[in-house]
Structure formats: structure tokens, C-alpha cells
Structure 1
């Protein structure tokens, strides 16, 4: 693939180098705490920086681009020049396959055409009932919460996986919860370490780390195979339809697994079993992570901010009627603007995909700095969402940042939790609907208070990783 850029890079300066150790450069910092390392790099070196990774002779460079304007160039206006050819993405492909998250070119376009029908706005709105049902069941279970408190990270992950099971796979996901919790963090850590390693053994070599990763991968693949088989055995129960009358459960044969298994046309052919499994795996993992992260941290933040919690609860009561009121629908999204702002602010502070990598095909210039051909490049919602040039007191929780007027006054890519450009997340409308309606049901049924005021320890690989619990007190509301 040949890509040329229209900007001359001859006179542009090289990016400043982030300080590291003489022997390994920035590698220890990126392995120990990548989120802190990227924030520190922007603060100390500017909006375009270079990390040197590994020992002399084996060292490689990684460019960080942190301004909204630079992010837009990488993800949107020069998207064809920045591809998913990085070492980290190759490790992700090895772990979870060549689905929508990792595929490129003709493979990506073919896959996107096949799954796009499940994510039209009309069809996604039809999933609202399923979201409300699952949220109501979760709220009811919290009435018996031991000690009157719940651990939000695990609870929201299980909720989001159940929603994915209901509306995308048409199957029970209780087994998936345990498998994902047991395997995904370890596979992400393995991919991160191999993606940064100056030298690495072939993935087929029977090292202890490779053998552990292979066992976890086999467990995930087995789960996806069982989901696919369950739809083939009993899931195709109807003629489909346009999704406008959806019941919230994928019980009409139009769920993702069934659609992919039977999809075929003259242009795209037919997906084989491996391709179906890879798509199911991507949506199993990515399809729940954004919602789980947004909900867990929205509740965590509301629990620590009583005035914002009061405003959100009053809006929910006004629209839905309070405890014992009606369930929310997709049409209620417009009537819940403050709750939507809460979710967006939670996504700003805790983006589920905090780091996004690319590789430059041709040399270009960003923010006056030269990006050479072949350079590995990252953009980071975690860093850009905290950029003091665009966010006042960036660590402060303030949903008012997302009024229409405030959003219109910022660059488009000052906030990009769903990525952007031609590779923007296909499920972003579904994630927002799940998060806002799920949060509405929980606030309708419970009051929330922080159990402790300490921040949740975090890490990052493919997704944002909570390294500790997020406890929150819950008190059932009485109508």
C-alpha cells in the first residue's frame, strides 16, 4: 500500500525525547505505569514526543501525539497514512484474532459491511428494553447487598456482559463472566509486554508465559464456539425484521452470532468458522468494556459528589417517576441530558480504551514536528482528556463540561473515547444507550454513597484495567 502526504517534513524538527534510563530507555516506565508515563511525557516534553524503548542496539522509538489537532490528523484526516501495523496490534491479533478491532483494508471493510446492520440507530434503539430489564434485575439484586455496599467494577462488568448476551448473542452469559474475568486481564498484560519487548520469543515456543497465554486463549475460543453453537442449535427462531419492534433480546435469529454464521453475498462471500469466532470474540470483549467502565466510574464519581448525584437523581425522577416508576426507553435519551453529561464526563476521566496505536506509512508533520515513515505512533484519550490547554482543572469531575455550548467550544478530538475517523467504534451509540439507561434505572432504585475516597488503582493495555476494587454504598429507595 502506497501513501503519500501533502506536507513537507524537511524543515520540521524531530520530537523531543522523553527521559528514561540509559540501558532501557522508557521501557520500565511504560511497563510499570503507562498512564502516568504518558501524562508525564506530555507535561514535560509537549504535545508530540518520542519514547525510546529497549537497550542500545535493539532500541526502537514510539511517538506520542497528544493535542486534539494531532489526534485528528492521526485518526481522521490522515487515517490512511496511520495503520494498525504496530507490534502491539500484532500481539492482539495473535491473542484474539483478526476481527473488527484489528483487521485492515479489504478484511475490515468486508467485516464492517457484514455487522453494520446490527448497529443502525433504529435497531440499537430497539435494544433499550433489554438494557432496562437487565438493569432492573441488577437493581433488585442490590437490595440484598451484603453490608449495604457493592463492588462497582465487577458488578458493572457482569451487567454489561449480560446485556451483550441478551441483545447481541441471544444467550445466557453467566459462564462468560467468569471466563472473561479469568482470561482477559492476563491476555492483555501478555500482549502489552510482548508488544513493548525489544526481543521476544516466537509465540509458539513453549515458554511458561506463552503456555499460560495459550491456555487462556483456548478458554476464550471455547466460550465463543459454545455461543456460536447455541445459536446454530436453537437460536434461529424467526424471520428477522428491521429491528423496530425488537423485544430487547436477540431471539429472532438476527443476533450477531447467527447473522455472521449465515451471512453470504456475492461481494463478500461467506465467513468461515474461524472468522465468525473472531468477530464474536471482539464483540464479547469490546462490546461490554466501554459500558462497564463508563457505568462503574460514573457511579464511583457520583458517590463522591453529592450535588451532582442529587441533580442526576432529580432528572431521573422527573422523567421516569422515581422508585416504582416506569422503565426507560430509547426515546428518553433526549430527556436525560444531565445524565448523559455525567456519562460523558466519566468517559473523559476513565476512557475504556486509554491508548490507541498506529504506524505511519509515509513521513508527515504534526504540530510542527516530523513523524518519519515507519514510525510507531500512539494517541491517548487518557492524556488528551486531561490536557490543560483544553480542560480547566482536568482532574476535577464536572459534567457541565458537556453542555452543548461547552462541547461546541472545544476541538472535535479533545474528547474521543470511541476513537474517531473511519475506524470509530461501530458500537458507540449502543454503548451510550446502555450507559445512560442503565444508570437511570440504578439511580431510580438506589441512593449511592462513597465507601472510601481513594482513587481506584489503574493500568492499561487494550483497555483500562482496574487493579483494585471500587466500593460504593447502596441504599434502596422507597417509592
Structure 2
């Protein structure tokens, strides 16, 4: 142990299995209890003797900053979970390392600037319009936010990635991505796994889903190379065309295999994470009608009934505050995982080389030392005066440091446009008090999230409560 470094306390568990069963049954609750009982740096041991995994959790904002940003070179993304991600989704930006990652970032960063992603605003609004038409056609006015917003985000990302080929891709993505996400997380958290080549039912299902996604990507890449790209579906070249044509002064273009890997990462991140954030944003607004109505009035005063554009968004700050607060309470990625490359001291605690190190937006976003009434929904905490003096890493749903989400401008554009359009047209009420969560690579609602839906300008009595569609 380095001088002045404190030994990391260990969370309690069963004599033989440690915290393994707790992590399987309730991972988010286990992380939170560890912080409450042992502090900001905690060791959790899981698994039987000889097969045990030891995980160091870091919950304080300064500690998170050390791991993700200030000393990111000491905490690499070559842990077991990241290796499983690489085996499932390829060597794209999410899991690539070292020079591979730097090259990919140099090639792709120009495609995700604030100015560039603004070109997709029309396509995003088109898909929200289509969802509103589907809701209007339902005479009972009882959407399932989980299902419907997941379908919306898949349509948005496939349209922006594949242009005219979006419809062909959307159904495959909806069917295959959730299963692969859950499969990968389970393997990543297990101390020992059977090889993927062993024909267990889970391995066979995962191979089939992976093969279907690979075939889709390869088919569309070949088609795009032959055609030279498509335009019109998004108002500009689709993202796949831009990926094919991505160049930099110091890097060779992406190969077909590299293109497939990047597409798989964008499909995962652009569908699952955005769907989670939108679902819980509308869920929370349905639970807090006074916040919803105030935001709706702001949207109406700015838009006057027309579609939003990227230039309108700064004039509707309450939409951003609402999204930030929803992402605080329900960060799509509940943990970010690294491996210590060398002996380190983090937030005054010794962490040995080779250790798995987890930082958890789920827990840090609820840290009572940094958030007043952390369990309550209060978008006003994201007013400029509220954010002044707040540590940068009290809120990090999109990561941070050199591996922060390259698509953060795109994700926020999608969500701001979608929420402003939906608030302009609908009032959401009658959501359940609690929503059960399913923890995979991302978190999402485990089942239907029902609500009552009425036109925003309808003054008649609210409709009777009905269960969500199943």
C-alpha cells in the first residue's frame, strides 16, 4: 500500500459466495448499499473460492474523475466485460483500445459535431410525427412508453444510419439487440464462462442473433458501396455513407469489417440508451403534472404550434433540465468498468494493479453529499445557478474523459426534439408509481410502462385509467 493510502473496506456477503447472489438479484441496490454502509470506495467480492471476482467500486465525483479523465491511462477498458462486448459487438469505438481507438475517434469525430448532427433534425421529427399518428389512431389513448419509445428510437437510428434501407434494418435490430445486450452482460459479470463455441441454448441464441445482425450490416455496406450512398431520407447522406467516406490526413479509411463494428456500436448506443432516457423522461413527467405543464407552456410560447428546429432548443431550457434530471435518476449505463493498469491511489484508497474498477452513475447521481433530496425529481437543480460549483463528475450519464460518448450532441438533439414535440401535442398522466428495472448493458424498464394520453389542448375530463398495451 502506498504511503497515506487507506485500505479499501469490503462489503459483507455469504461465506462461500460473497455478494454473488446479491449482484444477480439486485445489482443496483447492492451498489447503493455498499456506498451507504462502507463509503465512497468499496470492495465487493463475488463467487466461490477459487473463482472469485473482486471489484473495486468508486462512487465519489473526484474519484470518478481520476478514473475516467485525469488518470484515464491508468484505468484501461480491457476488463472481462469489455472483452465480452468486443466479442459480441466488435472492435468499435465502445471497446477498441489504444491506437485503434484513437484512429477511430479521429475518423468519426467530424461526423458528430453539433453542426453536423443538426442536419438530422428533420428525420428525427418525421419519426416523432409518425409515433404521434400511431397514438392518435389508438381510441383508448393508452400507450406503453417502454415499447413505443423503444420502437421510435430504433426507427430514428436506423433511418439516420441507413437512409432508405431503414425499414429493412429496424425489425432485425428490435429483435436481436436486446437479447445480445442481456447475454453479454451476464457473461461479463460471471467469474467463469463456458466458451461461446459450446452449443448451450444461450450460446446458440446469441450466435443466431449476432449472425443476423452481421448479415444485415454486411448486406447494407455492400449495397451502399455499390450505389455510392443515398440522400433524401434524412436530408443529407445517411451516416453509413459518411462512415464509408470518412477520411483524415493520418488514417486509412475504415474497412468493411471496421464499418460493421462501428454500425453495431451505433445501433446499440443509439437505440437502447436513448429509449431508456426518453421512456423515463415521459414517465417522470406523467408523475409530475405541474412540471410537465410548465414545460409545455414554454414549448408553446417558443414554437407556436410549428415543428422545433435545432435553433429553437436554447430558447426551451426547461426541456434540457428535465432530460438531465431524468438521466440523473435513470442513467442508461448504470456502471462503467475499467481495469487498473498499475497500483494506484484513488480518492485516498489503494487499488492494486489488475483490479476491476467500477464507477456507477446510478449511485453517484444519488449521492446525498452532492445532491439535495437525491431521490426526488427536481429539474430546477439543473438551472445555471444550481450547477455552479457542482463537481463535473456528480453527473456523468454520457461518461467522461477521452472515452466520453462521441454521440452526445446527437443523443441530446434527438431527445430535446422528441420531448418538445411530444409535449406540444400530448399530456401524459396516470403512470404507475414504480417501474421494475431490467439491468443489461443498459438499464430499461422490465415491462410495460403504461400511462394515460390526451391531446395537450383538450380541456375535457381525463379518460379513465386503462392498462398499457401488452
TM-score, scaled to structure 2: 0.93
For residue 314 of structure 1, the aligned residue among 286, 290, 297 is 297
The question of 1:90 aligning with 2:83 is answered: yes
Unmatched tracts of structure 2, length 5 or more: 459-470
Deviations 1:165-190 (A, max 9, x none): 23333134344443333322322222
**Is this contact kept in 1: 2:108–2:246, CA < 8 A?**
no
Q: 1:474 aligns with which of 437, 453, 462?
A: 453
Alpha-carbon separation, structure 2, partners of 1:188 and 1:21: 28
Contact 1:300–1:450, Cα closer than 8 Å, also in 2: no
| Structure 1 segment 17-166 matched on structure 2, within 5 A | 17-166=10-159
Aligned equivalents of 1:423, 1:288: Cα separation in 2: 19
Note if contact 1:355-1:378 (Cα within 8 Å) is conserved in structure 2. Answer: yes
Q: How does 1:184-195 map to 2 (within 5 A)?
A: 184-195=177-188
Q: Does 1:236 align with 2:229?
A: yes
CA distance in 2, matches of 1:292, 1:425: 16
Instruction: Report the equivalent of 2:417.
Output: 437
User: What's the offset of the Cα at 1:13?
Assistant: 2.2
Q: CA RMSD in A?
A: 1.9
Q: Show CA shifts across 1:226-246 (max 9, x none).
A: 3324433446257xxxxxxxx
Equivalent runs, 1:381-396 vs 2, <5 Å: 381-396=361-376
Cα distance, 1:156–1:233 mapped onto 2, change above 3 Å:
farther
SS in structure 1 at match of 2:441: coil
Which stretch shows the higher mean deviation, 20-29 or 355-364? 20-29
1:446 aligns with 2:426: yes
Which residue is 1:461 aligned to?
440
1:30 to partner: Cα distance: 1.3
**Where in structure 1 are there 5+ consecutive unaligned residues?**
1-7, 239-246
Q: What is the aligned partner in structure 2 of residue 226 from structure 1?
A: 219
Aligned length: 458
3-state DSSP of counterpart to 1:447 = strand
Farther-moved stretch of structure 1 (462-471 vs 67-76): 462-471
Q: Determine the C-alpha separation between the residues in 2 that align with 1:24 and 1:146.
A: 52
- Any residues of structure 2 matched to 1:333-412 within 5 Å, and which? 333-412=313-392
Residue 66 of structure 1: how far off its partner (Å): 0.5
**Superposed displacement of residue 327, structure 1:** 0.6
Quote the residue 1:213 is aligned against.
206
1:421-449 CA distance string (max 9 Å, x none): 01110111111111111111111111111
2:151–2:174 CA contact under 8 A, matched in 1: no
Task: Evaluate the alpha carbon distance shift between residue 90 and residue 469 of structure 1 in structure 2; reply closer, same or farther with a 3 A threshold.
Answer: same
2-side partners of 1:461 and 1:469: how far apart?
Answer: 17
Distance 1:409 1:91 in 2: 38
SS of 2:279's equivalent in the other structure is: helix
Q: Deviations for 1:22-76, whole angstroms, at most 9, x for unmatched residues?
A: 1111111112221111111111111100111211122121000011111111100
Find out whether 1:295 has 2:275 as its counterpart: no
2:396 is equivalent to residue 413 of structure 1: no
